[in-house]
Chain A
Amino acid sequence: MNVDIPLWAAIPASILLVAGGLLALVGSAGLLRFNNFHCRIHAPTLGNTMGAGCVLLASILVFSALQHRLVVHEVMITLLLLITSPITAMLLMRAAVYRGRRKRGESYPTATSPRTRYGRTDL
């Protein structure tokens, strides 16, 4: 641990780190405690957005103070998470709805899917 981090960067970074850790922990505990997939998919998004944002902001603060210039390459991870996290959530939600309807024997939309185009309807 280097010893030349000034006070103005250390205290906000500490607060942001603790807040990010708590948010991610609350999200993962919600993933464990909810009793339904449709409830469960809400919980980890707390850690994905707010928790990751807090930790990345703390990282920007600490490395900017350490190297005496503005270090913003952590924004890359933020942008990546911002783009990719909703894609995974939407795909998973669609998969859950589809598999749930299929399991209960209800109708599910397959008429426009490429599978039926090749004559394969045995999903």
Chain B
Amino acid sequence: MNLVLYWAASFALLCFVLGMACATVRLVRGPTAQDRVLALDAFYINGMLAALTFGVRSGTPVYFDVALLIALFGFVGATAMAKFLLRGEVIEP
């Protein structure tokens, strides 16, 4: 029965990698800067979910910390770039 879980996790990993490829295409092709920031947002969410799914697939809880760090730093990066697009600087005086 663990074979079912293994293949489900592999399928989910494939889905997340395809999603990351879609986000990469949008990141390269995006006509405006906010498109690229949105693509970065989708990219790090997909990467975090891929790390979590890899942890489920291999049965080790180590990848949870990786996912938490990716979520934290991805949020900081995406919000800083969105703030920069909005106001021209990130931390205002």
A binds B: yes
Are the C-beta atoms of B41 and A44 separated by less than 8 Å? yes
Q: How many residues of A contact B (CB 8 A)?
A: 59
Are the C-beta atoms of B19 and A13 separated by less than 8 Å? no
Chain A residues in 8 Å Cβ range of B7: 14
Are the C-beta atoms of B23 and A31 separated by less than 8 Å? yes
Chain B residues in 8 Å Cβ range of A113: 87
Given A24-B49, A37-B35, A59-B56, also A14-B8 (CB < 8 A) = yes
Measured CA separation A88–B81 after assembly (Å): 9
Measured CA separation A115–B16 after assembly (Å): 41
Contact digits for B12-42, partner A, Cβ 8 Å, 1 yes 0 no: 1111101110110110000011110111011
Q: Which residues of A contact B (CB under 8 A)?
A: 1-3, 5, 7, 10-11, 13-15, 17-18, 20-22, 24-25, 27-29, 31-32, 37, 40-41, 44, 47-48, 51-52, 55-56, 58-59, 62-63, 66, 71, 73-74, 76-77, 80-81, 84-85, 87-88, 91-92, 94-96, 98-99, 113-115, 123
Chain B residues in 8 Å Cβ range of A81: 45, 71
Number of A-B contacts (CB under 8 A): 178
Q: How far is the CB of A119 from chain B (nearest CB, A)?
A: 13
Are the C-beta atoms of B34 and A44 separated by less than 8 Å? no
Are the C-beta atoms of B46 and A94 separated by less than 8 Å? no
Are the C-beta atoms of B38 and A40 separated by less than 8 Å? yes
Chain A residues in 8 Å Cβ range of B32: 37, 96, 99
Are the C-beta atoms of B42 and A44 separated by less than 8 Å? yes
Given A47-B19, A59-B56, A96-B34, also A88-B75 (CB < 8 A) = yes
Measured CA separation A21–B19 after assembly (Å): 9
Given A1-B6, A17-B53, A56-B52, also A28-B82 (CB < 8 A) = no
Are the C-beta atoms of B1 and A1 separated by less than 8 Å? no
Q: What are 12 A-B pairs at a CB distance below 8 A? A: A2-B59, A10-B1, A14-B5, A21-B14, A28-B46, A37-B35, A47-B19, A71-B61, A74-B64, A77-B52, A92-B41, A95-B86
